[in-house]
Structure 1
């Protein structure tokens, strides 16, 4: 089965392709099909994920999968939340490639998060992932899965792997920042792994895949 991923994030495509591999799904980035980013006007992960999935399905005529994910920090009232990817004001250099611009935005986001947390003692946080799959743009029965990965925000970045807030997120159970985890370990424990495990079961039972 071919699904369009409602994202232009190459690392997210690779991660979700691995997580959904048991169903032998062909996942293709929406950008490769000429589809632009959808509006994300909502205040919850689930609502934004559904909007993105419907947008991609409408534009391509294919079933679509969307992930809306982010970081929720206890001391900041759950922020940055759905604004995680664009938390800090950032303007990429003229002509910057997409991945370079994304890395610059990530660095700005991390710096702002550390500044706003300051010396806070409560550094509890969780990565959140809402995965939504639709068979068509007007699918009345979207599949919705949700995962949370609990940790703590470090006082400085640690590690070069992953993306987004991975260098700042420390997982006590693994005694490591997310940026220092191997892809296999991350894919076994992450918020997307938890949501993908739910989604796999939903696809098997509701879509009769696998």
Structure 2
């Protein structure tokens, strides 16, 4: 087991997901899930080392997709996961998602509710990217992929971040070859090199306003 130095992360039980309606792939019916997933009675912090080996729990992972609309062209942030990233099973994969775990440092007045969750999302964005200008943030989908060892212990919460400016820089070595690409480019030769979650998102992004 990898040493995560006692890191505590926000999780829900797989039983909760099953009770709400388990699914495979991407699900845009977020309101059927979010109130329960972000209810403080249904989530809690768990040792990451244990959670990574325990498919009976799902780690809640914000997966933020960054979009820029300029001159009638829509582009999305894309990067390659570097070796210094926390998830070794995804190294060298292409990705359109930025995010990470929700930790106790994010806890707000609502205990483990939506305020805490959103604080964690914004912290992750600030840690991983340097953005110019304002941005919006809305949840558009959930991701579940039980077909591999990474996916079976994670539940992705897809955020669409609309950027005011295309001036974006990486704050971490784990984010390499950062750039902005159109959906057509992402669905071309790059597609097969994208991690599974990114492929699922790229498949549906043109249906999101």
Higher helix share: 1
TM norm. shorter chain > 0.5:
no
TM range (shorter): 0.3 to 0.5
Higher strand share: 2
The normalised TM-score by structure 2 is 0.32
More contact order relative to length (CA 8 Å, sep ≥ 6): 2
